[in-house]
Structures are given as C-alpha cells and as structure tokens.
Amino acid sequence: MNEQKTPVRSPCTGVCALDEQDLCIACRRSGMEIAEWGVMNDQQKLEVYNLIRQREQADQQKRSG
C-alpha cells in the first residue's frame, strides 16, 4: 500500500526578523534553520520544532522570573 505522508509544515508566520541571538522573533527558528528548511527531511524539521518549543519555554521562564 502506498501511503501519502503529510509534509511537515513550516512554522513561518511571514514576519522574518532575527533578534540579536539570530532567532526569528516570530517563529523562533535560527537563521540557519530558516535557510535550510527547504532541504531538511521531515525528521530534521520535527527536531527543529522541538528546539522551537524549548526556546519558547525558555522565553516564558525569562519573562516570568
């Protein structure tokens, strides 16, 4: 059976602006992750999503405390 896999969607929100840490202020990807997204396989993209979640959690901790 030939399964169609749904590709991992880009987290891009169309705001592409990097902060002083080279992270997009909107999607929280690094400049390199943004540049390489088109050539990453799905597993690599999922790993980037994990990094994004970690960055968001770190951002929340900085703000709350």
pLDDT in tens, 21-33: 999 999 999 999 9
3-state secondary structure at position 18: strand
Contact (Cβ atoms closer than 8 angstroms) between residue 11 and residue 45? no
Residue at 33 is within a domain: no
For residue 60, is pLDDT > 70? yes
Q: Report the C-alpha gap between 31 and 21 in whole angstroms.
A: 9
54 within domain boundaries: yes
3-state secondary structure of 23: strand
10 domain residue, yes or no: no
Owning domain of residue 57? 39-64
Global pTM?
0.86
Kindly state the percentage of the chain with pLDDT values over 90: 85
Q: Is 27 among the domain residues? A: no
Is residue 53 a part of any domain in this protein?
Answer: yes
- How would DSSP label each residue in 45-56? HHHHHHHHHHHH
Bridge partners, residue 17, by sequence: none
Average pLDDT, the chain: 94
Mean pLDDT of 3-28: 93
Q: How many domains in the chain? A: 1
- Is 48 a member of any domain? yes
Q: What is the pLDDT of residue 34?
A: 98
